[in-house]
Structure 1
Amino acid sequence: MSVSNAMSSDWLDWRRLLGFERRRSHQHGHWWNDSRRRLLPTYANDAIESAIPAKEVSKVALRLHHLIEACVPCEMEESQVTKAHSRVITKKVIQAAKEAGGSEYQACVRWFKHQAIEELWDAELHQVRGTACEVIAKGIIENEEDTAYLMHQVLLKRYSIVIDNEETPPVNVIEMAVDLHALRVIGSSGYQKCITYLWKGWLVQDENDPSNFVDYKDRDNTSFIAHLDPDRMRAPMYQNAAQMLISLIYLALFTGAINTINRDGDLDFVEGLLYAFTFGFLFDEFAKVWKAGYHILGFWNAFNGVLYSLLMVSLAMRFVAFSKPKSPEGDRGSREMFNELSYSFLACTAPLFWTRLLLYLDSFRFFGAMLVVLKVMMKESVIFFALLLVVCIGFLQSFIGLDYAKDFVLGDFTFILQSMANALMQSPDFSGFENFGPPFGIILYYIFTFIVMVILLNILIALYNSSYEDIYGNADDEYLALFSQKTMQFVRAPDENVFIPPFNLIEVFFLALPLEWWMNKKLYERINDVVMAIIYSPLLLVAAYFEKRTAIEIRGNRSRGEDDDDTIEEWEQMRDEVDFEGEGWDKKVESAKSNVEEEPAVLEVRKLRAEMEELKRMIADLAKAVGGGGAGDGKEKGEGSQDLLK
């Protein structure tokens, strides 16, 4: 069982909770390691409590655990559990799970996954049981017709369980499914409807209770002014749009800076904005690590760290150039050298700047699926680089030993490293090793080249191919999982005031430090709203325009009795003009369609059984007719009828 990682909006309480988690990790090492993988922020506020008592939730989880063990008593093919009309997870099983307490089903998923790690001899059985939990969860979500109840009570209510007589931090189904990467649950229609509502800002967190989600009250308000609210920037959709726009501006500033080189070393306005943006992004990265700890670090944090480090080195070289005096006309002194070095570092960041755009384009399906593939490939390549590191160290020590046996020369060490790197890049150079400790040098280099180029690189290709097939074989659900994770990153631990970098510098140095510590809270919040309204005014105007149009569509849907996000498709536009029942088309369709819920053999047996019942009825009627022919010999005829029935 895993408890939620303590990456919270209440950053002051976060470290205290992390210390609590570490104390527990001595007794439950495996589930703590699982929990560390959960890099999404969550809450650690003591005020947030489970919707129902944690002991009751634990009892529900135990009932579901027992139900799954009974339904999946032995190892079986996963397809028997996941197929459309499974005989293992039937409608009765899903109904039983509902009666046990359907909204808390996710608690037992991690038990089976953890049990599969602990009991390797039954790992396949526990994995199938974990899959069965996801199938049941998906069935519960998709069979719930009350959308409001599904989103507010089932998916967004937070629940805790009891571990070692202590309650775990409460989490909801939306968060747990993302943390566990439960693709079947994430891919269900009800789950995605809830994610869509969160993404659009139609479901927002209560200002007084961040654990509670409420409907956006002006969703159907057709007034343009009503939607000009700075708080609408809390919606993930608008935050993502703002981040993408700022990223494009950041790229434009870099393009302008690299294409307008100042030979005299002066810092112009474009470069000043570029480094100001960089300071804002750096401050945001440091704030995340300081508030949430190193567990929040991931691939994109490391990627951005390299980019910002190169930019800071470029700025440092520029400052060094400032400190040097200008050289006479036509001479190249220290100022020009450091200025050129600064632009060299700046130019090296160009690939990183363009690749960084992918971080904000993952909300589009094409880029999202591609990023999932790259992420999995990077994880799989760890095996390759671990093997490569061991092999390279071993052969490097051999080559250095041969060089020491002859006469160690520093140039030979450089030659060894370059030759090994060339072999890794599939461009080996054997000529240099002919006189390198003959015959051992050339033999070792052949062996090293064979191991690296034939064995290790083919292992890497096989790993990449396997990752590509696994992801693209399930690309839709993987994209939905990535989109859900992105949505939860905005929703799970929102800022009270949304200042996206580099605007966070305005919040810190012009609002928080000079005003927050002494100003009245309401007045301070009012000032923040005014500043956000000014900063985001172009985006708020566009958002208000589209929200007004959306409000008109919502009112139209409600007038027809449809959901707020319903859209009229082209095949629905003339549906009212066709009377299928009156034309007799319904009867024809019923007679033509096949029964896909039952096996053909089962249908034939049922048909044969019905015919046997009909035959028995006919024989019974015949016996009655024969028995009623005469009253005098009724006893004998009755006995004959019984013999006939036998």
Structure 2
Amino acid sequence: MVRWAKLFGFSDRDRRHSHDEIQHLLPSHRERQIPSAIPAKQVIYVALRLKYQIEQIVPCELPEERISAPHSNVITPAVVKTAKSAGKLSGHSEDYSSCVVYCLLVVKHWFKLQAQLELWDADLHNVRATACEVIAKSIIENEEDMPYLMEDVLLKRYAIVVDGEDTVPSNAIEKAVDLHAVRVIASSGYQKCIAHLWRGWLVQDENDPSRFVDYKGKTNTSYWAHLDPDRMRVPQYQNAVQIIISFVFLGLYTGAINTINPSGDLDIVEGLLYLFTLGFICDELSKIYKVGRYYLGFWNTFNSILYGLLTISFITRMIALGHDFGSAERRRMNELSYDFLAFCAPMFWARMMLYLDGFRFFGAMLVILKVMMAESLIFFALLIVVLIGFLQGFIGLDQADDNQLGAVGFIVKQMVNAIMGSPEFDGWDRFAPPFGLILYYIYNFIIIVILLNVLIALYNSAYEDITENAIDEYLALFSQKTMQFVRAPDENVFIAPFNLIEIVCISLPFEWWMSKDQYERLNDIVMGTIYSPLLLITAWLETRTARMVKWNRSRHESDDDTVEEWEQLAEELDLEGTGWSKRVEESAPNVVTEAAVLEVQKLRDEVKELKELMKTLIGGGIYGGAHDDAPR
């Protein structure tokens, strides 16, 4: 099997793309080997056709509601049909229709870039980008051939030509996640594909890494057939292992902080805690090395700070062990080590949210927090400028005062207190009167009245934006989480701290001299041993799932179909025979067309009938005959 690390390249050319696109979840800068399923030049031709179509159907700035409405009069079924045919032109035998959704996402990216370059037409280009999403979503949801949709439209990888070179191939699933195209992500077909990837029903083809195929054992009811270490690549199993390890890590920390050793010696609990920390640090460093600086994000930085504090705690503990038993220096360093360890407690519990984002409540909260943190950057940028200005002014007043109070510490403390909402005005009357007190009043007014209210407004706006679209945002977060596992740069899944076993016991002593087949067999043996308790459970679960899939296929239903309570007796009810369906059809309102339009259409039909009647009367000579009979 081709190494995952070689499947996702990241070239220098890609860094010229927008911030949304270059922040791939887990790309790798190693040499790429996956070819485009369709020649890159043909893909970009399809994209250019679609760009021309979007520019024609949205020639001017329109309200976004007209584009995104369920029955839009702009994105009509005819427009969607034309877009779908962009991959197959008359007179050409080749059919490139499978790349249309991918090309629509590429065109969306182009319009977003154009909006940044042409600010005077930014609203127009943003509406056109929305149109791309709406058309792509409509194509996905109207496709009835699920295998074709998932394997060809969504999961096949395509490339375009930029600066005369082919870009790194990617598929529509990855593109939508990278561009945060929530409308496409929230479509039913897209989420069905994500669900199959999450369950491990769609796996990468061993012979052709550019394709995803059905898992061969999906209908195999044999228990032993599912005891395969390769199944640990399934995203839901990796996620389960990470959650279990996170709870164990938290338990080790709780045990370590509640069992302080006055002697300074390391016990088993603390030893395991620091060993887990080493595994997490190695995992982060490995991903940064393979992915590059674009791997860094909020949670990576958060984890890095936590691991750094734990490392400092461990180092100070080692320094304490270097002093004589019972000495004051050993006791001081030991206490310092526990202080750093206790300081990490809030971060340990906040870290759990990172692994519980698969649950809808935690996932929605994480999206809100992420957007709030991004919005707060504006506040902190303004705050830093204000702080520097006032700090320089206060220090200048202190230096100009003959008393020379040397109150830098006092100044900093009072400025921080004002930011936290508890300003203290005592002492400022002795600080270069009256300038110090007046300047501090001005500082408090700017911080408390202006900047903090700006921050509250930004948080409120971010909260409203996310909660109004909470379901789509959660689906986007879940899709991103799934793709993090699917696009992982490691072929052999050794989740931290098990990666230490891979590094020390497998890679260093065996990888450099073993053949590829032998090395893969060794990894499978070690992975099977490590994950054997979980594999026993997953094999049982997959056996049950296989029975369900076979039963669904015997009923000619989809593999993931379930019979709900309202479906159990639905087949016994004859809606047409009893006349109920006809009565419902006659009384059902027309929700596609507005009431005013319906009345106008009705009036138009009546006028048409009246015109036909008038023509009939005139053609029959009624008026002419009456005129002839009149007295002369």
TM-score (norm 2): 0.93
**Structure 1 counterpart of 2:443, from 445, 448, 451:** 448
Report the counterpart of residue 306 of structure 2 in structure 1: 307
Q: Distance in 2 between matches of 1:588 and 1:439?
A: 85
Give 3-state SS (helix, strand or coil) of 1:214's partner: strand
**Structure 2 counterpart of 1:544, from 507, 517, 539:** 539
Cα displacement (A) at 1:278: 0.3
Matched, 1:90 2:76: yes
Map 1:168-567 → 2, pairs under 5 A? 168-327=167-326, 333-406=328-401, 412-567=407-562
Give 3-state SS (helix, strand or coil) of 1:106's partner: helix
**Bigger mean CA offset, 410-419 vs 218-227:** 410-419
Q: Distance in 2 between matches of 1:404 and 1:553?
A: 80
Q: Distance in 2 between matches of 1:640 and 1:226?
A: 94
Partner amino acid for 1:77?
P
Q: Distance in 2 between matches of 1:18 and 1:165?
A: 14
* Partners of 1:50 and 1:160 within 8 A in 2: yes
Partner amino acid for 1:400?
I
Report the counterpart of residue 66 of structure 2 in structure 1: 80
Q: Unaligned 5+ residue runs, structure 2?
A: 88-99
Count, aligned residues: 613
Report the counterpart of residue 93 of structure 2 in structure 1: none
CA pair 642-336 structure 1, distance change in 2 beyond 3 A = farther
Matched, 1:146 2:145: yes
Q: Distance in 2 between matches of 1:428 and 1:292?
A: 45
**Bigger mean CA offset, 285-294 vs 188-197:** 285-294
**Structure 1 counterpart of 2:565, from 562, 570, 575:** 570
Give 3-state SS (helix, strand or coil) of 1:596's partner: coil
Cα displacement (A) at 1:188: 0.3
Report the counterpart of residue 59 of structure 1 in structure 2: 45
**Structure 1 counterpart of 2:587, from 570, 592, 602:** 592
Report the counterpart of residue 95 of structure 2 in structure 1: none
* Partners of 1:11 and 1:292 within 8 A in 2: no
Cα displacement (A) at 1:43: 7.5
* Partners of 1:11 and 1:291 within 8 A in 2: no
C-alpha distance after superposition, 1:182-221 (max 9, x if no partner):
1110000000000000011100112333321111011111
CA pair 128-616 structure 1, distance change in 2 beyond 3 A = same
Q: Distance in 1 between matches of 2:248 and 2:404?
A: 51
Cα displacement (A) at 1:422: 0.9
Cα displacement (A) at 1:535: 0.7
Q: Distance in 2 between matches of 1:525 and 1:339?
A: 44
* Partners of 2:67 and 2:74 within 8 A in 1: yes
CA pair 360-642 structure 1, distance change in 2 beyond 3 A = farther
**Structure 2 counterpart of 1:99, from 85, 99, 105:** 85
Give 3-state SS (helix, strand or coil) of 2:213's partner: strand
Cα displacement (A) at 1:340: 1.2
Give 3-state SS (helix, strand or coil) of 1:158's partner: coil
Give 3-state SS (helix, strand or coil) of 2:391's partner: helix
Q: Distance in 2 between matches of 1:413 and 1:169?
A: 54
Partner amino acid for 1:262?
N
CA pair 642-203 structure 1, distance change in 2 beyond 3 A = farther
Q: Distance in 2 between matches of 1:468 and 1:60?
A: 38
**Bigger mean CA offset, 31-40 vs 388-397:** 31-40
Q: Unaligned 5+ residue runs, structure 1?
A: 1-7, 26-30, 628-636
Cα displacement (A) at 1:467: 0.3
**Structure 1 counterpart of 2:54, from 45, 64, 68:** 68
Cα displacement (A) at 1:408: 7.8
Q: Distance in 1 between matches of 2:603 and 2:335?
A: 90
Q: Distance in 1 between matches of 2:5 and 2:537?
A: 32
* Partners of 2:306 and 2:344 within 8 A in 1: yes
Matched, 1:131 2:130: yes
* Partners of 1:52 and 1:159 within 8 A in 2: yes
Report the counterpart of residue 90 of structure 2 in structure 1: none
Q: Distance in 2 between matches of 1:466 and 1:517?
A: 55
* Partners of 2:37 and 2:210 within 8 A in 1: no
Partner amino acid for 2:371?
V
Cα displacement (A) at 1:621: 6.7
CA pair 228-237 structure 1, distance change in 2 beyond 3 A = same
* Partners of 1:134 and 1:184 within 8 A in 2: yes
* Partners of 2:115 and 2:122 within 8 A in 1: yes
Cα displacement (A) at 1:611: 3.6
Higher RCO, Cα 8 Å, sep 6+: 2
**Bigger mean CA offset, 253-262 vs 136-145:** 253-262
Give 3-state SS (helix, strand or coil) of 1:565's partner: coil
* Partners of 2:316 and 2:336 within 8 A in 1: yes
Give 3-state SS (helix, strand or coil) of 1:570's partner: coil
Report the counterpart of residue 118 of structure 2 in structure 1: 119
Cα displacement (A) at 1:525: 1.1
* Partners of 1:234 and 1:494 within 8 A in 2: no
CA pair 592-417 structure 1, distance change in 2 beyond 3 A = same
C-alpha distance after superposition, 1:345-398 (max 9, x if no partner):
111111111110001000111000100000011111111111111111111111
CA pair 421-620 structure 1, distance change in 2 beyond 3 A = closer
Report the counterpart of residue 94 of structure 2 in structure 1: none
C-alpha distance after superposition, 1:108-127 (max 9, x if no partner):
11111111111111111111
Report the counterpart of residue 4 of structure 1 in structure 2: none
Give 3-state SS (helix, strand or coil) of 2:216's partner: coil
Cα displacement (A) at 1:552: 1.3
* Partners of 2:40 and 2:160 within 8 A in 1: yes
Cα displacement (A) at 1:291: 1.4
Q: Distance in 2 between matches of 1:341 and 1:115?
A: 55
* Partners of 1:43 and 1:493 within 8 A in 2: no
Q: Distance in 2 between matches of 1:43 and 1:217?
A: 31
Cα displacement (A) at 1:559: 1.3
**Bigger mean CA offset, 157-166 vs 474-483:** 157-166
Q: Distance in 2 between matches of 1:346 and 1:12?
A: 40
* Partners of 1:41 and 1:489 within 8 A in 2: no
Give 3-state SS (helix, strand or coil) of 1:10's partner: helix
CA pair 622-12 structure 1, distance change in 2 beyond 3 A = closer
* Partners of 1:9 and 1:43 within 8 A in 2: no
Q: Distance in 2 between matches of 1:179 and 1:270?
A: 41
C-alpha distance after superposition, 1:133-174 (max 9, x if no partner):
100000000000000000011011111111222211111110
CA pair 408-113 structure 1, distance change in 2 beyond 3 A = farther
* Partners of 2:5 and 2:490 within 8 A in 1: no
Cα displacement (A) at 1:641: 11
* Partners of 1:60 and 1:100 within 8 A in 2: yes
Q: Distance in 2 between matches of 1:317 and 1:594?
A: 74
**Bigger mean CA offset, 362-371 vs 485-494:** 485-494
Partner amino acid for 1:71?
I
Q: Distance in 2 between matches of 1:73 and 1:42?
A: 40
C-alpha distance after superposition, 1:97-117 (max 9, x if no partner):
000023332221111111111
* Partners of 1:9 and 1:41 within 8 A in 2: no
* Partners of 1:54 and 1:167 within 8 A in 2: yes
Partner amino acid for 1:546?
L
* Partners of 2:26 and 2:291 within 8 A in 1: no
Report the counterpart of residue 18 of structure 1 in structure 2: 11
Measured on the aligned residues, the alpha-carbon RMSD in Å equals: 2.2
Cα displacement (A) at 1:406: 2.4
